[in-house]
Amino acid sequence: MRGDERALDLNLLRVFEAVIRLRSVSAASRELNVTPSAVSHALGRLRRALDDELFFFIDPDMKPTQRALELQPGIHEGLLHIDRALNALSFEAVQSRRNFRISVSDYAAAVILPRLLPEMLASAPHARLRVFPENRIDVVQHLDDGKVGFAIGWFRDIPPRMRRATILIEREAIVARVGHPLSGVPVTKEELLTFPHAVVDLMGDQERSPEGFMVNRGVERRVWIEQILSESEGDSATLDRLAVITVPHFAAIPLLLENTDMLATMPERLALRETQRGTLCMIDLPYEPLSVPIEVVWHTRSDQDAGLQWLIGKTLALFLPQSEEQAK
């Protein structure tokens, strides 16, 4: 251990935290908005200061040494304390150069982010948004660790240490290719069960509760599986026959349906967008469509984060009038 260890530059610790979390110099450079050579130079300074290699490159990853793994928890927690202290100060949007880190589903990326980003940049032109896929990460753990500031999606049960606020209410819609035999005519549940289905399962093949939620470390996320199929779960043969393909993203649905007679369930806003493009049509439902709240979820400690609360407020304000109207 060198004598200058106590005088380490805070930025070096941020580089260390990014590299050990991402296991990549290039990924860390993109996240920190610096060049890969700057990251490599910082790691060199850290190696000299701590008298340890810290990382070895074993294609394609940076593998941490035992010393690096021992340092990680303390450095991560220390940086969190510093960030909390700084973010608790007054937030000046026009001057802020903050990188906001959030987690969203592909639904939120398509429906909410295109409206949120212009609003954010109009008030905070130097701020940046770093978005991570909600369906690929452990949301609660990442909120606990401070790796993301908030998540946007559909949730049921959340731990008491989390807060939530509804952005809007979304409904299900069944879609098909333009010219499908069921388009433009009244249909029955039985007729819906005569066609194969493409199912969007946001979490993959995991244990599901009876309501169609995926249980994941305290957060249960709704999967947009067709209500008509959910009612058929007791008949596994029927379910296996109808659910021809499951995919993790709504973006795949138009391409999957355009040359087949499959049906699929999508959130209504996405379905309406596709019908306006002329890629899909909506099927008249013979039952009341499922409705779910789309919510922002954040950790209670972020209540003191003026910048994060500003962005959450911006997000809620975008859809609040619609949300209130739909809730009536």
Cis ω for the linkage preceding 289 (within 30 of 0): no
pLDDT at 272: 95
User: Mean pLDDT throughout 152-170?
Assistant: 87
CA pair distance 1, 48, nearest whole angstrom? 9
Predicted confidence (pLDDT) at residue 111 exceeds the cutoff of 80: yes
pLDDT at 138: 75
Handedness of CA 220, 272, 130, 87 (dihedral sign): negative
The per-residue pLDDT of the chain, averaged, comes to 81
User: Mean pLDDT throughout 147-168?
Assistant: 88
Residue 228 C-beta-side C-alpha neighbours within 13 Å: 27
| Stretch (H or E) spanning 219 | strand 219-222
| Domains of the chain and any CATH numbers | 3-87 (1.10.10.10), 98-328 (3.40.190.290)
pLDDT at 328: 37
Express as a percent the part of the chain with pLDDT over 90.
Answer: 42
Q: What is the CA radius of gyration of the chain?
A: 23
Predicted confidence (pLDDT) at residue 209 exceeds the cutoff of 60: no
User: Which has the minimum average pLDDT: 88-97, 182-191, 300-309?
Assistant: 88-97
Q: Are 32 and 16 in contact (CB under 8 A)?
A: no
> Is the backbone of residue 188 left (phi > 0), alpha (psi -120 to 50) or beta?
beta
CB atoms within 10 A of CB 41: 14
Predicted confidence (pLDDT) at residue 128 exceeds the cutoff of 90: yes
CA pair distance 41, 16, nearest whole angstrom? 11
User: Which has the minimum average pLDDT: 35-49, 150-164, 264-278, 301-315?
Assistant: 150-164
Q: Which residue reads 């978005």 in tokens? A: 131
Predicted confidence (pLDDT) at residue 146 exceeds the cutoff of 90: no
178-187, 217-226, 300-309: range with highest mean pLDDT? 178-187
User: Mean pLDDT throughout 136-141?
Assistant: 70
Tokens of 237: 């043969």
DSSP string covering 102-142: EEE-HHHHHHTHHHHHHHHHHH-TT-EEEEEEGGGS-HHHH
Predicted confidence (pLDDT) at residue 2 exceeds the cutoff of 60: no
Pairing of strands 150-153, 213-216: unpaired
pTM, rounded to two decimals:
0.68
Q: Which residue reads 């035992």 in tokens? A: 66
* Span 213-237, pLDDT tens digits: 334 443 433 345 455 555 555 555 5
User: Mean pLDDT throughout 297-312?
Assistant: 90
User: Mean pLDDT throughout 61-76?
Assistant: 88
Tokens of 215: 């249980």
pLDDT band for position 9 (cuts 50, 70, 90): confident
Cα–chain-centroid distance for residue 33?
21
Q: Which of 284, 226, 235 is nearest to 253 (CA)?
A: 226
| The CA-based dihedral angle spanning residues 6, 9, 10, 14, taken in that order and rounded to the nearest 10 degrees | -110
Better-scored residue on pLDDT, 323 or 160: 160
Predicted confidence (pLDDT) at residue 178 exceeds the cutoff of 80: yes
| The CA-based dihedral angle spanning residues 134, 139, 145, 150, taken in that order and rounded to the nearest 10 degrees | 70
pLDDT at 235: 53
Residue type at position 242:
L
User: Mean pLDDT throughout 121-143?
Assistant: 84
pLDDT band for position 312 (cuts 50, 70, 90): very high
* Span 69-107, pLDDT tens digits: 988 888 887 887 777 666 655 688 999 999 999 999 888
Q: Which residue reads 């753990």 in tokens? A: 141
CA pair distance 328, 247, nearest whole angstrom? 34
